[in-house]
């Protein structure tokens, strides 16, 4: 099992010492995380790594997952899309079903806790049934809620207002809420199967198994097949590049069980890529972390052409692997990429095509940007920083009137 000390060669022993001293101040606090899936999607991925590390630091941690039927996940997917600004219509019956599934889940949670961190809208309503079971209830929003659909937000706002604080990934996602709001940027785990160093043989084995030849520069986008990730726009950009420069495109999409739209978007992508032998579409299972790692490491340029984005952990992963990244200028991607520095931000398929060509013709610039990107991630977006943020948040919430805590 990976231990805290395994991170010392990557982040420095002083960072590990800091975490241990902060955790010692908290002692054996009970800390429950609740979300809606144990596999698939960035939230489940990071929880699967953060929970064991928090336990190693001496906290009493639980990770609970709510269950729901297909209708529930369609409703919460619609809520997710509404928070990202899409017009959706949720009928009173749908909202009742959302509440009812939360009520059913609440019955199985009998723990008591010091802190509960509820991730995203799916389990948010649990607070109505479980509030006496924990001292501090905090809502964690991982979604780009910068321009939410008004009616759905009003519904959620009433629920979220019952929490004592909220946490957002970016300041632009913060809302008008009657409690303190905090920023915790998402992070990646450099020792996970998706991010650990791989040997050349390991990379080659995956490419062989997936049928990808390295005969031309590889452009890659890894993301769920979701319209906000604009996979069709990536194909358009690729076709523009291909008119001038030989390369190939790999679109690798994971599925997530809470995303009923996945199959439809996948069909649209297949149609757009028809008759183009240099486009390879890979539908990967949610646990294909090793394969994603190898694909990212084998690629020459990595694209994340989202039109809405919470944070864009796939961008962070690619940067950590020292790759030049071209990302849509939305959400957390804006925070991560700076033109000519740690990557390129683009606003259209044409912009994406232009930057791909730019980098294909300037391999030294691509390498330099990749090196800067890796250091940037090391300082800001590794899991050790997120663990520190959680510990700091708990200390601050236990002393809510203090703006400067001297320990």
Partner 1 sequence: MKISPDQPAKNPFSFRECFLMPMPIGKKALNLRELLQALRDLDESVLYYHIFQSRLDITQPAEEYPNEFARWAANALQDVKLAEKLSSFDPFDYENLTQVRQSVVDILEEYLWDIQYIPWARSGFEFHFCEASTVVMRSHIRAHTLQVFCETLRKVGLDSIYYHFFEARWRLGVRNVDDFSYWIETNFGLPELVAAIRGIDIYFYSLKEIRDTLLGLIHQHLGELCDRTQ
In whole angstroms, the minimum distance from the beta carbon of 376 to partner 1 comes to: 6
Is residue 84 a contact partner of residue 144, using CB atoms and an 8 Å limit?
yes
- CA atoms of 101 and 104, how far apart (whole Å): 5
Nearer to partner 1, 10 or 177 (CB): 177
Nearer to partner 1, 7 or 376 (CB): 376
How many Cα atoms occupy the beta-carbon half-sphere of 274 within 13 Å? 6
Nearer to partner 1, 111 or 340 (CB): 340
Is residue 127 a contact partner of residue 117, using CB atoms and an 8 Å limit?
no
In whole angstroms, the minimum distance from the beta carbon of 325 to partner 1 comes to: 14
In whole angstroms, the minimum distance from the beta carbon of 298 to partner 1 comes to: 26
Nearer to partner 1, 212 or 387 (CB): 387
Q: Residues 183, 214, 350, 361: which binds partner 1 (CB under 8 A)?
A: 183
By rule CB under 8 A, what string of x and - marks binding of each residue 372-391 to partner 1? Answer: x--xx---x-------xx--
Is residue 355 a contact partner of residue 242, using CB atoms and an 8 Å limit?
no
In whole angstroms, the minimum distance from the beta carbon of 10 to partner 1 comes to: 15
175 binding partner 1? (CB under 8 A): yes
Nearer to partner 1, 11 or 124 (CB): 11
Q: Residues 3, 93, 341, 361: which binds partner 1 (CB under 8 A)?
A: 341
Of residues 56-95, those binding partner 1 (CB under 8 A): none
139 phi and psi angles, rounded to 5 deg: -100, 130
Q: Residues 86, 129, 182, 358: which binds partner 1 (CB under 8 A)?
A: 182
| Bridge partners for 34 per DSSP | 64, 118
342 binding partner 1? (CB under 8 A): yes
Nearer to partner 1, 21 or 214 (CB): 21
- Looking at residue 217, what DSSP letter applies? P
In whole angstroms, the minimum distance from the beta carbon of 146 to partner 1 comes to: 8
Is residue 350 a contact partner of residue 298, using CB atoms and an 8 Å limit?
no
Nearer to partner 1, 142 or 242 (CB): 142
Q: Residues 125, 155, 168, 228: which binds partner 1 (CB under 8 A)?
A: 168
246 phi and psi angles, rounded to 5 deg: -70, 135
Is residue 311 a contact partner of residue 42, using CB atoms and an 8 Å limit?
yes
Q: If we measure between CA atoms, which residue out of 110, 104, 146, 149 comes closest to residue 122?
A: 104
Paired tokens of 150: 């008004």
Q: Residues 5, 6, 17, 209: which binds partner 1 (CB under 8 A)?
A: 17
Query: What does each C-alpha distance from 118 to 42, 114, 134, 282, 405 come to in angstroms?
Result: 15, 13, 12, 32, 25
- CA atoms of 178 and 160, how far apart (whole Å): 9
How many Cα atoms occupy the beta-carbon half-sphere of 398 within 13 Å? 13
In whole angstroms, the minimum distance from the beta carbon of 122 to partner 1 comes to: 23
Q: Residues 99, 135, 185, 216: which binds partner 1 (CB under 8 A)?
A: 185
By rule CB under 8 A, what string of x and - marks binding of each residue 308-337 to partner 1? Answer: ---------------------xx---xx--
The length of the chain, given as a count of residues: 407
Is residue 124 a contact partner of residue 145, using CB atoms and an 8 Å limit?
no
Is residue 280 a contact partner of residue 250, using CB atoms and an 8 Å limit?
yes
From 42-50, 73-81, 83-91, 180-188, give the range in contact with partner 1 by CB under 8 A: 180-188
From 12-20, 43-51, 122-130, 225-233, give the range in contact with partner 1 by CB under 8 A: 12-20
Nearer to partner 1, 288 or 372 (CB): 372
21 binding partner 1? (CB under 8 A): yes
Q: Output the DSSP codes for 81-146.
A: HHHTT------HHHHHHHHHHHHHHHHH----EEEEEEESSTTGGGHHHHGGGEEEEEEEE-S--S
Is residue 156 a contact partner of residue 121, using CB atoms and an 8 Å limit?
yes
Nearer to partner 1, 133 or 157 (CB): 157
Of residues 138-167, those binding partner 1 (CB under 8 A): 146
Is residue 46 a contact partner of residue 117, using CB atoms and an 8 Å limit?
no
Q: Residues 16, 22, 118, 143: which binds partner 1 (CB under 8 A)?
A: 22
- Which residues would be at the binding site for partner 1 (CB under 8 A)? 12, 14-15, 17-18, 21-22, 146, 168, 170-177, 180-183, 185, 329-330, 334-335, 338, 341-342, 372, 375-376, 380, 388-389, 392-393, 395-396, 402-407
């Amino acid at each position: 099992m990976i231990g805290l000390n395994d991170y010392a060669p990557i982040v420095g022993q002083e960072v590990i010492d800091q975490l241990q001293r902060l955790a010692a101040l908290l002692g054996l606090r009970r800390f429950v995380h609740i979300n809606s899936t144990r596999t698939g999607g960035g939230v489940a991925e990071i929880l699967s790594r953060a929970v064991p590390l928090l336990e190693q630091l001496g906290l009493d941690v639980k990770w609970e997952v709510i269950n729901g039927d297909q209708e529930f996940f369609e409703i919460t997917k619609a809520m997710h899309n509404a928070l990202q600004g899409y017009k959706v219509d949720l009928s009173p019956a749908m909202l009742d079903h959302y509440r009812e599934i939360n009520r059913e889940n609440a019955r199985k949670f009998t723990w008591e806790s010091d802190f509960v961190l509820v991730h995203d809208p799916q389990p948010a309503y649990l607070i109505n049934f479980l509030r006496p079971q924990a001292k501090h209830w905090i809502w964690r929003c991982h979604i780009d809620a910068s321009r939410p659909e008004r009616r759905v937000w009003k519904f959620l706002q009433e629920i979220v207002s019952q929490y004592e604080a909220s946490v957002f990934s970016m300041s632009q996602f913060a809302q008008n809420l009657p409690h303190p709001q905090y920023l915790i940027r998402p992070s990646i785990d450099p020792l996970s199967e998706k991010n650990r160093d791989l040997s050349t043989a390991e990379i080659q084995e995956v490419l062989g198994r997936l049928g990808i030849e390295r005969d031309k520069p590889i452009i890659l986008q890894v993301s769920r097949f979701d319209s906000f990730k604009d996979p069709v726009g990536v194909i358009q950009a690729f076709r523009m590049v291909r008119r001038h420069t030989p390369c190939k495109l790999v679109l690798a999409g994971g599925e997530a069980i809470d995303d009923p739209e996945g199959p439809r978007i996948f069909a649209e992508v297949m149609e757009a890529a028809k008759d183009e032998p240099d486009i390879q579409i890979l539908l990967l299972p949610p646990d294909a972390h090793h394969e994603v790692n190898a694909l990212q490491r084998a690629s020459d340029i990595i694209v994340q052409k989202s039109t809405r984005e919470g944070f864009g952990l796939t961008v962070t992963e690619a940067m950590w692997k020292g790759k030049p990244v071209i990302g849509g200028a939305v959400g957390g991607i804006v925070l991560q990429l700076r033109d000519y520095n740690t990557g390129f931000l683009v606003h259209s398929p044409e912009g994406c095509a232009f930057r791909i060509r730019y980098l294909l013709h300037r391999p030294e610039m691509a390498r330099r940007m990749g090196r800067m990107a890796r250091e940037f991630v090391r300082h800001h977006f590794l899991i050790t920083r997120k663990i520190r943020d959680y510990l700091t948040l708990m200390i601050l919430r236990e002393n809510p009137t203090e703006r400067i805590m001297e320990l």
